[in-house]
Amino acid sequence: MSDQPQSVTADVFYFSPPEDGSKPYTDINADPLVGKRRNNWNPELHSVEVENLRGKEDSVTLDTAGFQFGHEAAAHKTFTSDAAIEAEYYPESIELVKKITGASRAVVFDHTIRRRRPGEIDDSPQKRQPVPLAHVDQTTASAIARVHRHLPPAEAPALLQRRFQIINLWRPISHPAYDWPLALCDYRSVDPKTDLVATDLIYPDRKGETNSVKFNPNHKWKYLRGMTPEEFVFIKCFDSKTEDNTAVLTPHTAFQDPSTPKDAPFRESIELRLLVFYD
Ligand code: OGA
Ligand code: FE
């Protein structure tokens, strides 16, 4: 499409480590009244180029870049009730992931709906917004912990012997996501040894661990401009397969796109997180 920019320049928030050398953490509920986060580390803003893959959707795959676009509408359309999402959208998404990846089993372990609300600081679970911070949802340790948490104890050890992944299924809701789209960083441009820093994620009742991302000028950011609800992206957050140059993960972030049409409605999206197993 000729009226599409080939790439845009955008600000991306990266991570810079705590000055005192302590392990970084993000307390996601430091102020339960407004769900305000607290960190012991500093965000660092960098201007980056984000390539628009519109028309080149097939140039990236889960195993090469760490993310993959698809075009398939969901049968579930409303996304207004968690119970209906679990009853309807979870099962069709499991089938979609298995069909496209060839996995033998996929287990959804949560979902998040995001709606941008300018000026709103409440970040409690029902009011999540786009995340303007480069990150990977899990570390290796927290990916393995997810298997133990969500699969029967009798099955987890055997499942961990074979290939497994964590994949997020992300799609816009109700209208195209021109506003605050999602940028994804090609795994081939990431140096996992230098760019990723394990960061505690402190929930009210437990501790998780995510990977924060340090700036690296080699990073190649990409997005699909104007993604529609009929489109989706698989975001790989973890893969136990490391040989054959397999992409193991994908840093990602929401960003303000300077090419967003002035009248574009605020972004609405849903992401499902799945444990994905192979025979
Ligand atoms: C995700 C994620 C952020 C966003 O799907 O894991 O980080 O802005 N999403 O949609
Ligand atoms: Fe994420």
Question: What atom of ligand 1 comes closest to residue 269's alpha carbon?
Answer: 10
pLDDT tens track for 48-61: 999 999 999 999 99
pLDDT, mean of residues 68-92: 97
| Farthest CA pair distance, the chain | 55
- Confidence band (pLDDT; 50, 70, 90) for 33? low
pLDDT tens track for 224-271: 999 999 999 999 999 999 999 999 999 999 999 999 999 999 999 999
Instruction: Say which residues have a Cβ less than 8 Å from residue 199's Cβ, sequence separation at least 6.
Output: 15, 23, 24, 25, 26, 41, 209, 210, 211, 212
**DSSP bridge partners of 216:** none
Cite the beta strand spans of 140-247 per DSSP E.
Answer: 164-172, 182-185, 196-202, 207-213, 221-223, 231-239
Atom 1 of ligand 1 has which residue's CA nearest to it?
Answer: 271
pLDDT tens track for 187-203: 999 999 999 999 999 98
Task: Say how far apart CA 109 and CA 211 lie, in whole Å.
Answer: 19
Ligand 1 centroid to residue 12 C-alpha, Å: 14
Q: Are strands 25-31 and 196-202 parallel, antiparallel or unpaired?
A: parallel
- Confidence band (pLDDT; 50, 70, 90) for 121? confident
Per-chain mean pLDDT for the chain = 95
User: For the ranges 1-15, 159-173, 200-214, which has the lowest average pLDDT?
Assistant: 1-15
Question: What atom of ligand 1 comes closest to residue 254's alpha carbon?
Answer: 8
Ligand 1 pocket list (CB less than 6 A)? 114, 130-131, 137, 168, 170, 182, 235, 252, 254, 269, 271
- Nearest bound ligand to CA 128? 1
Question: What atom of ligand 1 comes closest to residue 252's alpha carbon?
Answer: 7
Residue 141 has pLDDT above 70, yes or no: yes
pLDDT of residue 154: 97
pLDDT of residue 32: 60
196 is written with which tokens?
């990723």
Atom 10 of ligand 1 has which residue's CA nearest to it?
Answer: 130
- Confidence band (pLDDT; 50, 70, 90) for 36? low
Residue 2 has pLDDT above 60, yes or no: no
All domains in the chain, ordered by first residue: 7-277 (2.60.120)
Cite the beta strand spans of the chain per DSSP E.
Answer: 7-16, 25-31, 36-39, 42-52, 67-71, 105-115, 135-136, 164-172, 182-185, 196-202, 207-213, 221-223, 231-239, 252-254, 268-277
Task: Say how far apart CA 102 and CA 106 lie, in whole Å.
Answer: 10
pLDDT of residue 34: 60
Best probe residue, ligand 1, of 201, 213, 269 (max atoms within 8 Å of C-beta): 269
Ligand 1 centroid to residue 238 C-alpha, Å: 15
Phi first, then psi: give them for residue 149, nearest 5 degrees. Answer: -75, -35
Asked if 236 and 67 touch (Cβ cutoff 8 Å), the reply is yes
User: For the ranges 73-77, 83-87, 121-125, 152-156, which has the lowest average pLDDT?
Assistant: 121-125
Question: What atom of ligand 1 comes closest to residue 180's alpha carbon?
Answer: 8
- Nearest bound ligand to CA 253? 1
Atom 4 of ligand 1 has which residue's CA nearest to it?
Answer: 130
Question: What atom of ligand 1 comes closest to residue 132's alpha carbon?
Answer: 8
